[in-house]
């Protein structure tokens, strides 16, 4: 026993130092390349990198235009166990658990999935929230306390796996929101016996909070539409993500479960599946919505963790991917490109910066033709533009603006890369590293909590029986759907949801709602404030604004509009109820 423990410690020590040595080698090579560029004013190595990876991503972009053949077999209904690891998630866990439990996935008239929530040593109100939820919802709750807790997401997932009964294991983060048909869409892929894993499309549920959340949604839209779909089309090594990954239980067990020492356990599992010669598919029909990080400090922490995990996995696994027999060449090449992707993003952005500096101080030289340099410099824009066109907005001026904005946004990978290198070289102990969640734009409460709020003396005395039928005008569809559920639980009737002012005016003319709940930033050419003027002028119907935009200019425009009330996101049930009942 003592010998086994000693050997494990030696192995762990070697792996740790192997990663640190690899990171130092990467840092040394980057330093040499930068020095070569600045001393010799020659950017040929940058252009070669740009051309190679740009050509690859252009291939992926072209491939994404081809249709993914979706499985047609619908009678396959494997029992699914869903694991949600949670650590200090008081703001999001209730909404997530409620969304997961309402999925429409049945076999022989019975619910064909189970939910396992692993509370990994939470010190906030997460335990109380989960205990309250258990009174009305059916799920398993595992409470891990120190010294077992706090070992990382991989450890929490392995703890949940021990009590699961499912043939397939689905993993959600504690901020996940899904539609009822999510499981039915995902499980169809397992009709192919070669498929051992499926990854869902991931989008942001709060993109309109600020520019940072909007940029993250653009990023995920591009990544899912182009990278994940394109890699699936060319039979590449599609990667599993931390949110919305479904894998056969026997596959997880055959590779030893999730790596508890990895801070990107999803990427590590993707490598293990590839080495085990399993096939992972991307399902572009099933969507999981997660919370975008609204503040730069927490955002950069998240990105450093991602980059650190990619660096560690690249150093530990690249040679294994190259030498393991039986892996198709397309997947071998594709995964190597993917593993070094974050580092290449850094070098691409660095090449622009160094090239610009060299141009300012006296120009630069290159041994490749100018046309190839131009191609290498601009080849990534088709990827961005394609993703934005199909997933975000089709208006040309919006695409141009968001493409340029996204390019500037990507410059954050330069400091992130160096910070991740530093952590890989120096940090020895890994703890639970999680993204801080502050909750969605709507605080969903259970029917019991809503009833309690409505029956409070302050609310019940103010009820206005004339307002019953509502129309929601909101471009964040997941927020709008949450709002609809809450309003219907409160006793209101929602006549519909629309994302543009033009469509809203048509619906109002037909359905004649008593009240309109209006966002300010909408799809189309008319914003919510201009729409409110038109609604009052034509229909004399009151409008309540629900928006995240509270800057001075917006507030001044609001004051000049004929609105009945204003709620600033995030909102809660009490403030929503009070403003509706006072109208």
Domain of residue 103 covers 80-225+235-295
In a domain, 138, yes or no: yes
On whether the CB atoms of residues 237 and 280 are closer than 8 A, the answer is: yes
Q: How many domains does the chain have?
A: 2
Which tens digits make up the pLDDT trace of 129-184?
A: 999 899 889 999 999 998 888 888 999 999 999 999 999 999 999 999 888 889 99
| pLDDT tens profile 183-239 | 999 999 998 899 999 999 998 888 877 889 889 989 998 887 788 888 888 888 888
- CATH code of 501's domain: 3.40.50.2300
- Omega before 390 within 30 of 0, i.e. cis: no
In 3-state terms, what secondary structure has residue 135?
coil
Asked if residue 368 lies in contact with residue 43, where contact means CB atoms within 8 angstroms, the answer is no
Over residues 380-391, the mean pLDDT reads 86
Q: Is the pLDDT of residue 462 over 50?
A: no
Is the residue at 336 inside a domain? no
Is residue 479 domain-resident?
A: yes
Is residue 525 a part of any domain in this protein?
yes
Would you state the pLDDT for residue 448? 40
Q: Does residue 371 fall inside a structural domain? A: no
pLDDT at 1 over 60: no
Residue 117: inside a domain, yes or no?
Answer: yes
CA–CA dist 504, 524 (Å, integer):
11
The bridge status of strand 80-86 relative to strand 565-568 is: unpaired
Structure token digits, residue 292: 């975008």
Residue 322 belongs to some domain of the structure: no
Helix (H) or strand (E) holding 143: strand 140-144
Q: What is the pLDDT of residues 478-495, one digit of tens each?
A: 778 778 877 887 889 999
pLDDT band at 463 (very low <50, low <70, confident <90, very high): very low
Closest CA to 450 of 580, 291, 583, 288: 580
Q: How far apart are CA 478 and CA 176, in angstroms?
A: 11
Identify the CATH number of the domain in which residue 125 sits.
3.90.550.10
Domain boundary among 246, 263, 295: 295
Name which residue leads in pLDDT, 368 or 328.
328
Q: Where are the alpha helices (DSSP H) in 144-197?
A: 153-161, 182-187
CB 530 within 8 A of CB 511: no
State the Cα–Cα distance between residues 185 and 286, nearest whole angstrom.
6
On whether the CB atoms of residues 501 and 531 are closer than 8 A, the answer is yes
User: Distance between CA 541 and CA 530 in Å, rounded?
Assistant: 14
Taking Cα atoms as reference points, which of 234, 220, 221, 228 lies closest to residue 63?
234
> Does residue 560 have a pLDDT over 90?
no
Residue of 531 and 22 predicted with greater confidence: 531
Q: What is the pTM of this model?
A: 0.73
In this predicted structure, what is the pLDDT of residue 189? 92
């Amino acid at each position: 026993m003592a010998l086994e423990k000693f050997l494990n410690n030696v192995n762990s020590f070697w792996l740790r130092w192997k990663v640190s040595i690899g990171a130092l080698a990467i840092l040394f090579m980057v330093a040499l390349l930068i020095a070569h560029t600045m001393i010799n004013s020659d950017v040929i190595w940058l252009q070669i990198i740009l051309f190679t990876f740009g050509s690859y991503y252009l291939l992926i972009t072209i491939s994404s235009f081809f249709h993914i053949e979706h499985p047609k077999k619908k009678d396959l209904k494997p029992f699914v166990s869903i694991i949600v690891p949670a650590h200090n998630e008081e703001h999001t866990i209730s909404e997530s658990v409620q969304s997961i439990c309402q999925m429409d996935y049945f076999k022989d008239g019975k619910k064909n999935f189970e939910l396992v929530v692993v509370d990994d040593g939470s010190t906030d109100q997460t335990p109380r929230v989960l205990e309250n939820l258990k009174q009305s919802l059916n799920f398993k709750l595992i409470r891990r306390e120190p010294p077992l807790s706090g070992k990382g997401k991989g450890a929490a997932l392995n703890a949940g796996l021990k009590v699961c009964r499912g043939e397939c294991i689905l993993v959600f983060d504690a901020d996940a929101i899904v539609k009822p048909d999510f499981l039915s869409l995902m499980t169809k892929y397992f009709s192919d016996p070669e498929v051992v894993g499926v990854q869902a499309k991931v989008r942001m549920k709060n993109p309109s909070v600020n520019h940072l959340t909007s940029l993250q949604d653009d990023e995920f839209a591009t990544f899912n539409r182009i990278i994940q779909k394109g890699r699936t089309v060319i039979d590449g090594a599609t990667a599993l993500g931390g949110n919305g990954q479904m894998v056969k239980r026997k596959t997880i067990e055959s590779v030893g479960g999730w790596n508890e020492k990895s801070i990107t356990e999803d990427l590590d599992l993707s490598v293990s599946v590839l080495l085990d010669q399993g096939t992972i598919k991307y399902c572009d029909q099933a969507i999981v919505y997660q919370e975008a990080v609204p503040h730069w400090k927490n955002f950069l922490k998240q990105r450093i963790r991602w980059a650190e995990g990619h660096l560690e996995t690249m150093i530990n696994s690249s040679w294994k991917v190259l030498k393991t027999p039986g892996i198709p060449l397309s997947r071998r090449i594709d995964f190597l490109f993917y593993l070094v992707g974050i580092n290449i993003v850094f070098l691409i952005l660095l090449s622009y910066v160094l090239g610009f500096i060299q141009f300012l101080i006296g120009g630069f030289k290159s041994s490749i033709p100018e046309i190839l340099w131009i191609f290498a410099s601009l080849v990534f824009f088709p990827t961005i533009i394609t993703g934005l066109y199909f997933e975000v907005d089709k208006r040309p001026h919006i695409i141009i603006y968001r493409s340029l904005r996204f390019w500037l946004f990507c410059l954050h990978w330069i400091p992130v890369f160096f910070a991740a290198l530093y952590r890989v070289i120096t940090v020895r102990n890994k703890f639970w590293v999680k993204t801080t969640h502050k909750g969605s734009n709507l605080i969903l409460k259970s029917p019991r909590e809503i009833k309690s709020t409505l029956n409070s003396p302050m609310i019940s005395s103010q009820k206005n029986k004339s307002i019953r039928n509502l129309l929601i005008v909101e471009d964040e569809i997941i927020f709008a759907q949450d709002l609809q559920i809450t309003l219907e639980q409160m006793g209101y009737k929602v006549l519909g949801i629309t994302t543009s002012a033009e469509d809203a005016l048509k619906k109002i003319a037909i359905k004649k709602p008593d009240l309109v709940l209006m966002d300010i930033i909408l799809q189309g050419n008319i914003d919510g404030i201009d729409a409110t003027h038109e609604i009052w002028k034509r229909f004399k119907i009151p409008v309540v604004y629900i928006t995240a935009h509270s800057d001075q200019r917006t507030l001044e425009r609001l004051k000049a509009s004929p609105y009945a009330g204003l709620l600033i996101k995030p909102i809660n049930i009490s403030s929503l109820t009070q403003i509706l009942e006072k109208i």
